Amino acid sequence: MPLDIVQIPVLNDNYVYLAHDPATGATGVVDPAVHEPVLAELRKRGWTLTHILNTHHHPDHVGGNLALKEATGCQIVGPQADADRIPGIDVALKDGETWRLGKEEARIFDVPGHTKGHIAFWFANSNALFCGDTLFSLGCGRLFEGTPSQMWASLSKLGALPDDTRVYCAHEYTESNARFAVTVEPDNAVLTARYAAIRAARAKGEPTVPSLLGEEKATNPFLRPMSANLRATLGLADADDVAVFAETRRRKDSFRG
């Protein structure tokens, strides 16, 4: 049975996720920025928190760790490469390992770039990817601690997953990401249509997350350094993929549209 996944909007634009295994009752929370909304949703559904899944150390991803652990006795799992910055961590995970939430198995990917120690959880049976701030809907995380080559390698790992994978990223950034994306790949008709659908959804207050990985491969410029349209816009027709990615990220960092 696939995981039951519940999206909890918190703070200004964060998404926290509950992942519940109906076969065993095991319940994880992914990147809890705060604890109160998580506890409220657990009470509403009659679920018992058993695990916290942290992708990286930033406060808006681990801020609820200790309060939730104190309230529930849950186990905290997170990246081995950044274990010293994950509050209350019990289990440290690294690339290529598997980890189980109840009967549901996740494959762990090291995906540094946004931070030095960032992981993603892929639950293949549930077509669910919890990727923190590495991959966004139509975007990717800023390179606070990593290099363009590291981030492109990380995104390439995630981009190799099946197209029907649902991308549960940690922020509602899609509309602003789309405004940038159409400036660097203006002749991408699929992107243009997606941008219109995103504007309509956000005008009604609807979330744009999760997205499908296949959609991201077709429209997200940070997964598309091989695009001739993108390369032409950037003036990098003959550059390697890392250079194209790096210039795309540089332009996004200064974009004010």
* Residue 241 falls in the annotated catalytic set: no
**Catalytic residue from among 35, 56, 57, 118:** 56
Please name the residue that has the structure tokens 């200004």.
12
Q: Phi first, then psi: give them for residue 197, nearest 5 degrees.
A: -65, -35
Told to judge if 118 belongs to the known catalytic residues of this protein, a careful annotator would answer no
Annotated active-site residue in 31, 82, 110, 133:
133
> Whole-angstrom Cα distance, residue 143 to residue 139?
12
57 is catalytic: no
Looking up tokens 């077509």, which residue turns up? Answer: 127
Residue 35: active-site member? no
The single residue of 20, 35, 57, 114 carrying the catalytic annotation is 114
d(CA 248, CA 123): 30
User: Looking at 21, 58, 82, 110, which residue is catalytic?
Assistant: 58
Distance CA 29, CA 44 (A): 15
Check if 240 is active-site: no
Active site residue 56: yes
Question: Do 196 and 233 contact (CB within 8 A), yes or no?
Answer: no
Strands (E), the chain: 4-10, 14-20, 27-30, 51-53, 75-79, 91-93, 98-101, 104-110, 119-123, 128-132, 135-136, 139-140, 166-169, 211-212
Catalytic one among 51, 61, 110, 118?
61
Q: What are the catalytic residues?
A: 56, 58, 60-61, 114, 133, 171
